[in-house]
Each structure stands twice: as structure tokens, then as C-alpha cells.
Chain A
Amino acid sequence: MSHHIIEAEDLHYKYPDGTSAIQGVSFRITHGESVAIVGENGAGKSTLLLHLNGYLLPTEGALRIGDYSLTKETLNEVHRTVGMVFQDPDDQLFMPTVFEDVAFGPMNLGFPADEIKKRVYDALETVGMLHLKDRPPFKLSAGEKRAVAIATVLSMSPNILVMDEPSSHLDPKTRRKLIALLGTFKHTKIIATHDLDMAVDLCERTLIIHKGKIAADGPTRELMQDEELLEQCSLEKPLKLQCCSLCGKVSV
């Protein structure tokens, strides 16, 4: 199933002001994989993510998303294949009610009315927010907004989910629920995050980005044990892999 694949080949991106944000990044993410993208602030995570939804086009190198290589002509197909959940749900929820917001994508794809309704209900049901369907999005709590933002993407039934900091600004319980929810998705998942504990929970593979390059690419647990590597990339061992300061045990 090639339409679940993302492949980057020697990707470069230079911002108009000359900042070189990505300098030769290559990776291949295959069907059903769950990959965390981590790195210090300004490492190039967000820039990389903006390529995955076609908002930025690489200045050099190539990106294949599903069956298409990323060019201006294939943007529509790319948008259908990749569901992007933005960091700030307020950027993503712009329609007057939750229902209309979740329906926005399917409506633009031109589905018939009953199909749209079914998709919206299914998506809201999946994230457990169906009861909010008639509410205006700006009245929701941060956790609800996040869940609805995910539903807006699910309603287009994308093959690949890309998420920018899905666990930020959430209280511990809501964060836990979100992690459990994301764990149930069978999509290919790419999650950019600083929440390394979540990366350990959700992603078997991690890409560590450092100064616009890939510093490491491998199994999450292995990379997260490599203290030297983490130190180099301004990261820190996830809490659950550290020794408990009270009893001296590691939780996993």
C-alpha cells in the first residue's frame, strides 16, 4: 500500500530571509508506522512538518507522499492523503459550529450531504465529542478543542496523520486520554513533540532533528537511553526511563 508512505530525499529548505532551516534530510516512513519527530526549539521540526502538508515546498530535494511526489500540481491529493493537526487548535477551528468545522473538509471534497453527515458523526464519535456538535468552537476547553481539531482531520479519512505538539497545554488526565485515543488509530502517524514520554508511549520509531539535520533515526527506546546523544541535541531522558528519585526504580 504505497499511499501510506512518506519518503524524503535530501530535503533542503531555505527561508526567504536566508535562514537555512532544513539541510539535507532523508527518511522513509512506511505504512502503519508511528514516528516521533523530536528536537530542541528551532531545530527545524515545524519547518519539516509544513513540508509534509505541502504548505512549504522544498528548495532542494524531493518528497514523496503516498503515490505523489510533492509539487504544486499534486497539492490537492497530498492534502487528502495527509491529515494535519496544528499546534494551536484555534488556528484550525474557524467555522461557526463544531459540526460545520468537522464538515469543512468533506464539503470541500464535494461529498453528498448524507455522506458528509455520516463522516462528521463518525469522526466526532471517534474522539468522543459528538455531544458538542452544535457548540461554537471558541467556547470549548483546550482538551475539547484538541479533540475536535483531530476530528476535523479524521472526517477526511486521511491515510497519514501529522500532528504538531498534540499534548501541549493539556492537563495530565486529558493528555493521558489523548495518548490513549491516538494509540487506537491505525494510520501512519508522525508526531512532532517535546513530550518525550508520549513519544515513548506512542511511537516505536523516533527521528531526532538537530540544527536542520537528522541527528538520529531509530527505535524510540534505544535513542531515549542514549544520554550522550540526548545531551548533544538539548534533550533529556524521558521521565519514565529515568530512575525514580524516591524508590530508585525505572517504571518501564
Chain B
Amino acid sequence: MADIGAHFIEIGLMDRLATKDTAIHRLDPRAKLLTTLVFVATVVSFGKYEVSALLSFFVYPIALIARGDIPARYILKKIILVAPFAILVGVFNPFLDREPLLTIGDWSIAGGWISLLSILVRFILTVGAALILLACTGINGVCLALEKLGVPRVFTAQLLFMYRYLFVIMEEGMRMVRAKRCRSFSKQDTGMKAFGHMLGHLLLRSLDRAQRIHSAMSCRGFDGHIPSMKQLRLTSGDVAFVAGWSGLFIIMRLYNISQLLGSFITEVIS
């Protein structure tokens, strides 16, 4: 439990990364959001056995990490933290899909393994792109962009508050777990039932808190709209960013760049 807590606290680093001032950070949040969406859409649209064509897509996260001065290690750690979900999705493929798809010498590789690999690569690309977007835009920037792009305010406000109170509720939950542990000694069997009560209690407390927050907000003139001082202005650089990258993604979707590059190199060598 303490580990999960530590990871959540570490999300705070995201906020600090988002305050950096690089060419990538200065881009309009809408430009970055749109590019990320096109990226995710093209990556997801590949067939289930595709691996090699996906590899060329790594150019986008790598470029952003380099230009945006984002610690690659931190992003990797975060990807690994959520990796179990992706692994769970694909882990049975090798057993269900035993058709040999590829043979290297005496070895034949079943289609299941390839599709598992494809799922993992896609997962790393999409989650990585989302994390990088967050690290070089910040949650407020992302929410602002969403709102300007027409997403209803209810959702963007929801997202902002979830992010803000994640820490508070996590902490509350952890205090309860700690308090329970102090009185449960080595007896673990009553655990599940007690956890049910604790979850219910946490829900009630969160509802109470939501009510208090609402009253604090209405005291300060809240009328359903969270105001922002930031004015967004789309520059030609932003348009070039979206158009350039999206164009590249579509080309990479249509042509297998890694394969073309490979055959080109082998041709040059021979």
C-alpha cells in the first residue's frame, strides 16, 4: 500500500515537469493534444500482427522527450507501473493462437506471441504519448485544451477535480489502512469485510468533502465555470507541429517505413 502511495505522490513530479519552458512546453496545448490523438488513433489502427511498422512510431515520443527535456526514465517507470493491465489483455494470446506465423531457422513463432508483442508495443506507445503530453502540458493545460476543443465543461472540471483530490483521498484511505493494521495484529481473515466498511466510509467522507468544497466554491462566486487566466493563441508554429506530425503518422501508417529502410540498407550493402 505504501508503494502505491509513493507512486501517487510521485505524480507531483508531472506538475513540476509541466512548468518547464522549452519549445515543446510553449506550444499551444490544443496542438499537442490533437497531435497526440492522431498519434494514438494511427497506432491503434494497425492490424493485430503488426510489429515492425509500429517501431517507426517511436520517433514521436523520443523527439518530444529530447526536445521537451523530460526524463525518459521517469516516463518508463510510470509505463511499467500500469503495464500489468496490458499484459493481462494479451497474456493468453500465445495459448489461444498457436498458428505458426514466422519461422526463423528451426524455430517457428506462433501468431499469439506476435500479437502479444504488438499489444505491448502499442501500449508503450500510446501510454507513453499520453504521459508525455501530460508532462509537457500539465493537467490544467490539457483540460483547457479539451474545453476549447468543445468538450463539455462538466467533464473537464471533473477531470481537474479528480486530479486535485486524488492525493487527498489516497491519503485518507492510507490513514485508514494504517489505523486498521495497528489493530488487526496478524489476523488477516477479517480483512475483506473490514475493507468493505472502509470503502463505504471513504465514499461517505468523500461525499461530505465534495459538499464542503462546493460550498467553499460558491462562496467565491463559482457558477459552474472554472475561470482561467490563460489565453490560448494558435500560432503558425502550432499549426506546423500538428500538420507535420500528423502527416508523418499517416505516411507511417500507409507505408512500413522500418521495412523500407531495412530493404534500402540491405540493397546499399549488397
**A100-B229, A138-B168 given; A94·B213 CB < 8 A:** yes
Among B112-120, B147-155, B182-190, B215-223, the stretch in contact with A: B215-223
Interface size class of A (residues with CB under 8 A): 20 to 34
A-B contact count (CB 8 A): 79
Select the residue from B167, B219, B223, B229 with max chain A CB neighbours within 10 A: B219
Of the candidates A86, A103, A116, which one forms a contact with B216 in the assembled complex, judged by CB atoms under 8 Å apart?
A: A86
A76 contacts chain B at the CB level, 8 A cutoff: yes
B139 surroundings in chain A (CB, below 8 A):
96
Question: B212 touching A108 by the CB < 8 A rule?
Answer: no
Of the candidates B15, B217, B218, B229, which one forms a contact with A94 in the assembled complex, judged by CB atoms under 8 Å apart?
A: B217
Question: B19 touching A91 by the CB < 8 A rule?
Answer: no
A90 surroundings in chain B (CB, below 8 A):
168, 209
Of the candidates B167, B209, B213, B220, which one forms a contact with A108 in the assembled complex, judged by CB atoms under 8 Å apart?
A: B220
Complex alpha-carbon distance, A238 and B19, angstroms:
47
**A91-B209, A91-B212, A96-B160 given; A108·B219 CB < 8 A:** no
B220 surroundings in chain A (CB, below 8 A):
79, 104-105, 108, 152-153, 156
Interface size class of B (residues with CB under 8 A): 20 to 34
Select the residue from A82, A91, A95, A116 with max chain B CB neighbours within 10 A: A91
Question: B212 touching A79 by the CB < 8 A rule?
Answer: no
A109 contacts chain B at the CB level, 8 A cutoff: yes
Question: A55 touching B12 by the CB < 8 A rule?
Answer: no
Please report whether the interface of chain A is mostly helix, strand, loop or mixed according to DSSP: helix
B201 contacts chain A at the CB level, 8 A cutoff: no
A233 surroundings in chain B (CB, below 8 A):
none
Question: B212 touching A88 by the CB < 8 A rule?
Answer: yes
Complex alpha-carbon distance, A94 and B215, angstroms:
12
Question: A55 touching B227 by the CB < 8 A rule?
Answer: no
Select the residue from B160, B213, B228 with max chain A CB neighbours within 10 A: B213
B95 contacts chain A at the CB level, 8 A cutoff: no
Question: B138 touching A96 by the CB < 8 A rule?
Answer: yes
Interface residues of A in 95-111 (CB under 8 A from B): 95-96, 100, 103-105, 107-109
B36 contacts chain A at the CB level, 8 A cutoff: no
Complex alpha-carbon distance, A138 and B82, angstroms:
24
Interface residues of B in 202-233 (CB under 8 A from A): 209, 212-213, 215-223, 226-229
Question: B19 touching A84 by the CB < 8 A rule?
Answer: no
Residue of A nearest to B215 (CB): A55
Complex alpha-carbon distance, A11 and B132, angstroms:
55
**A86-B212, A96-B15, A96-B164 given; A104·B219 CB < 8 A:** no
Complex alpha-carbon distance, A26 and B164, angstroms:
40
**A91-B216, A94-B164, A138-B164 given; A103·B222 CB < 8 A:** no
A50 surroundings in chain B (CB, below 8 A):
215
Question: A79 touching B19 by the CB < 8 A rule?
Answer: no
Question: A136 touching B215 by the CB < 8 A rule?
Answer: no
Question: B229 touching A113 by the CB < 8 A rule?
Answer: yes
A53 contacts chain B at the CB level, 8 A cutoff: yes
B140 contacts chain A at the CB level, 8 A cutoff: yes
A-B contact sample (6 more), CB < 8 A, given A94-B165, A107-B229, A108-B223: A55-B215, A86-B216, A94-B213, A96-B139, A104-B217, A108-B221
